[in-house]
């Protein structure tokens, strides 16, 4: 994938059951409407340890970012898109932001063999042409009607799985049909829509196609390829609000702003300060006050409540002259950040920046 030169709203009232989201407590407010919060100095502070990594004390105070909120971005037509006051804008490969009026009612997307889009009214539609080249026919009309309103979705073009979360907190799996070269796998690759049985109502879906989710109790579940969910392995902490998966490692975020990771650590993906064979259990990263996390290949980054960005592991496109880091390091020059993805940074004042090898470019909406 090549996007713009590169390869989550306030908390709901505790008495009101929030609408399920994929990594979202509630629909994110537009960046322009978010109040500003100071980013702090780059070096150590009273709320940081000796390396400048924020401590739990940094989570206090009033902040516009809430752990687990939905991303401001969605993918469409091989472009990174977001909503502004006037509607949907997408960023082309040349870095230009263009209006895409027919996406104005799209709130989320997922990739299987096709690109799937979730509308504001809870209905799902898909692209006319397949995203993948393995010859999958389009889904039959009305395939998702039996679910009712859909609240969130996520997917992976690697295996054709689309996970859907209904407005009544049920989980469904849609399997796109693949062209199987090995007959032994034909049964596994058959398409179909099946409900995944979970022992409680589900509130969040993982991102990046990871077939997992979080129940209302804060317990995490693995949906896998089964019809019955199982508790997520690795001894995850309670209060999980977001799940993200990279290339060989998984990370989660709690409602207290703490980050935990498990899996491969050959390139310091776990942010533990060392490079080892990895861990089958979730290990806490020396970072607190996070409100957004995302794994991308062998790197993980976090947006903190103060608007700063921290990263660890491999190289990332939004850091100028990046180097691999064994523990969380602050991305210099990135302050007042609301969200970022694929080298595109969304500031809290609504401006967008694109990272190149030499500099950051402010994008214009024309």
**Closest to 73 (Cα-Cα) out of 316, 366, 345, 334:** 345
Pseudo-torsion of CA 334, 266, 110, 221, nearest 10°?
-110
At residue 97, what are phi and psi to the nearest 5 degrees?
A: -95, 125
What is the average pLDDT across 175-179? 63
Q: How many CA atoms lie within 13 A of 226 on its CB side?
A: 11
What tokens does 181 get?
A: 């070269």
The pLDDT of residue 134 is 61
* Distances in whole angstroms, Cα of residue 233 to Cα of each of 41, 66, 156, 250, 282: 38, 26, 21, 11, 9
Query: Measured between alpha carbons, how far is 91 from 97 in angstroms, rounded to an integer?
Result: 4
User: Residue 95's pLDDT is what?
Assistant: 77
Residues 139 and 176 sit within 8 Å (Cβ to Cβ): yes
- The residues pairing with 193 across neighbouring beta strands, listed in sequence order, are 174
Interval 268-293 mean pLDDT:
85
| Beta-carbon contacts of residue 237 (< 8 Å; ≥ 6 apart) | 252, 254, 258, 260, 282, 284
DSSP 262: E
Other C-beta atoms within 10 Å of 67: how many? 26
pLDDT at 258 over 50: yes
**Domain boundaries in the chain?**
8-72+234-366, 105-232
Asked if 199 contacts 215 with a C-beta cutoff of 8 angstroms, the reply is yes
DSSP calls for 124-164: EEE-SS-SSSS-PPPPPTTTTGGG-SEEEEEE-TTT-EEEE
Measured between alpha carbons, how far is 176 from 173 in angstroms, rounded to an integer?
A: 10
Are 144 and 150 a contacting pair, CB within 8 Å?
yes
Higher pLDDT, 332 or 222: 222
Nearest to 241, CA basis, from 224, 229, 258, 228: 258
What's the pLDDT score for residue 166? 95
Q: Could you tell me the two tokens for 176? A: 């796109």
Structure tokens that stand for 276 in this block: 């080892």
Structure tokens at 359: 């500099």
Instruction: Count other Cβ atoms within 10 Å, centred on residue 2.
Output: 9
| Distance of alpha carbon 214 from alpha carbon 218, whole angstroms | 6
List residues bridging with 228 in a β-sheet. Answer: 197
Instruction: For residue 347, give both structure tokens.
Output: 């500031």
**pTM for this entry:** 0.74
pLDDT digits (tens, 9 = 90+) for 78-98: 888 988 888 899 988 777 888
Could you give the count of Cα atoms lying within 13 Å of 337 in the half-sphere of its Cβ? 28
Distance CA 267, CA 364 (A): 36
Is residue 90 helix, strand or coil?
A: strand
202-218 tens-digit pLDDT: 998 988 777 899 999 88
- Name 56's Cβ contacts closer than 8 Å, sequence gap at least 6: 256, 257, 258, 288, 289
Neighbour-count burial of 71, counting CB atoms closer than 10 A to its CB (0-12 exposed, 13-18 middle, 19+ buried): buried
Q: Considering only residues 320 and 50, tell me which one the structure prediction assigns the higher pLDDT.
A: 320
Specify the residue for token string 């401001």: 72
Average pLDDT of every residue of the chain = 74
Q: Tell me the per-residue pLDDT of 10-46, one tens digit each, with 9 for 90 and over.
A: 322 222 223 344 443 322 323 333 222 222 222 323 3
What does the pLDDT average to over 48-55? 38
């Amino acid at each position: 994938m090549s996007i713009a030169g590169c390869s989550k709203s306030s908390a709901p009232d505790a008495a009101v059951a929030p609408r399920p989201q994929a990594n979202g407590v509630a629909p994110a407010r537009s960046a322009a409407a978010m109040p500003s919060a100071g980013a702090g100095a780059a070096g150590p502070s009273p709320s940081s340890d000796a390396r400048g990594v924020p401590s739990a004390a940094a989570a206090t105070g009033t902040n516009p970012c809430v752990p687990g909120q939905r991303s401001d971005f969605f993918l469409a037509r091989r472009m990174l898109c977001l909503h502004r006051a006037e509607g949907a804008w997408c960023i082309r490969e040349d870095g230009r932001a263009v209006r895409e009026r027919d996406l104005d009612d799209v709130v989320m997307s997922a990739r299987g063999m096709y690109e799937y889009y979730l509308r504001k009214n809870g209905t799902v539609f898909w692209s006319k042409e397949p995203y993948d080249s393995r010859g999958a026919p389009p889904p039959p009309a009305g395939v998702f009607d039996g679910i009712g309103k859909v609240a969130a979705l996520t997917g992976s073009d690697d295996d054709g799985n689309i996970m859907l979360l209904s407005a009544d907190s049920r989980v469904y799996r849609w399997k796109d049909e693949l062209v199987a070269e090995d007959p032994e796998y034909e049964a596994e690759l058959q398409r179909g829509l099946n409900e995944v049985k979970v022992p409680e109502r589900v509130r969040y879906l993982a991102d990046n196609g990871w077939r997992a989710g979080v129940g209302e109790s804060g317990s995490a579940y693995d949906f896998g390829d089964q019809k019955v969910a199982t508790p997520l392995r690795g001894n995850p902490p309670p209060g999980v609000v977001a799940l993200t998966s990279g290339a060989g490692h998984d990370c989660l975020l709690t409602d207290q702003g703490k980050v935990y990771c498990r899996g491969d650590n050959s390139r310091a993906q776990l942010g533990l300060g060392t490079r080892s064979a990895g861990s089958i259990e979730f290990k806490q990263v020396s970072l607190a006050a996070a409100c957004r996390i995302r794994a991308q290949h062998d790197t993980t980054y976090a947006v903190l409540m103060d608007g700063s960005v921290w990263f660890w592991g491999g190289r990332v496109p939004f850091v100028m002259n990046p180097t691999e880091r064994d523990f969380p390091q602050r991305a210099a020059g990135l302050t007042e950040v609301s969200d970022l993805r694929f080298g595109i940074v969304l500031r809290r004042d609504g401006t967008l920046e694109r990272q190149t090898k030499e500099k950051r470019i402010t994008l214009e909406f024309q």
